[in-house]
């Protein structure tokens, strides 16, 4: 029996998402859920993320991030992306 379908999404978050541990919570949640990808702050105050894994795990990741103290996601936009077959781990990018 095949496992869940693996997806890759680019997500952009707005709200109280910078300076509140958002990226660190994202990495912690992704590692715990077996997701891959990266997250970084953008100059406009939003946070950009690419994440890959089962849709249910991506949804759980977002809930875990938002459960953090001080984090408040007011808006979220998502785009589908092609899979990155040779990606391992989840990182915080500073670029």
Q: Structure pTM? A: 0.93
Model pLDDT for residues 8-67, shown as the tens digit of each residue: 999 999 999 999 999 999 999 999 999 999 999 999 999 999 999 999 999 999 999 999
Instruction: Look at residues 67, 70, 93 and name the one whose alpha carbon lies nearest to residue 21.
Output: 70
Strands 90-92 and 36-41: what pairing? parallel
Please give the class, per CATH, of domain 19-92.
alpha beta
Query: What pLDDT score does 64 carry?
Result: 96
- Residue 41 annotated as catalytic: yes
The catalytic position among 41, 60, 72, 93 is 41
pLDDT surpassing 90 at residue 4: no
- Residue 75 annotated as catalytic: no
CA angle (13, 38, 43) in 5-degree steps: 50
- Within the chain, residue ranges assigned H as helices are 22-33, 55-66
User: Is 61 in contact with 33 (CB distance < 8 Å)?
Assistant: yes
């Amino acid at each position: 029996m095949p496992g869940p379908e693996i997806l890759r999404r680019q997500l952009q978050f707005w709200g109280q998402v910078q300076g509140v541990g958002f990226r660190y919570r994202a990495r912690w949640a992704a590692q715990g859920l077996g997701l891959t990808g990266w997250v970084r702050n953008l100059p406009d105050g939003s946070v950009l993320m690419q994440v890959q894994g089962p849709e249910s795990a991506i949804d759980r990741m977002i809930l875990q991030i938002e459960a953090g103290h001080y984090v408040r996601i007011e808006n979220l936009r998502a785009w589908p992306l092609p899979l990155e077959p040779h990606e391992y781990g989840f990182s915080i990018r500073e670029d």
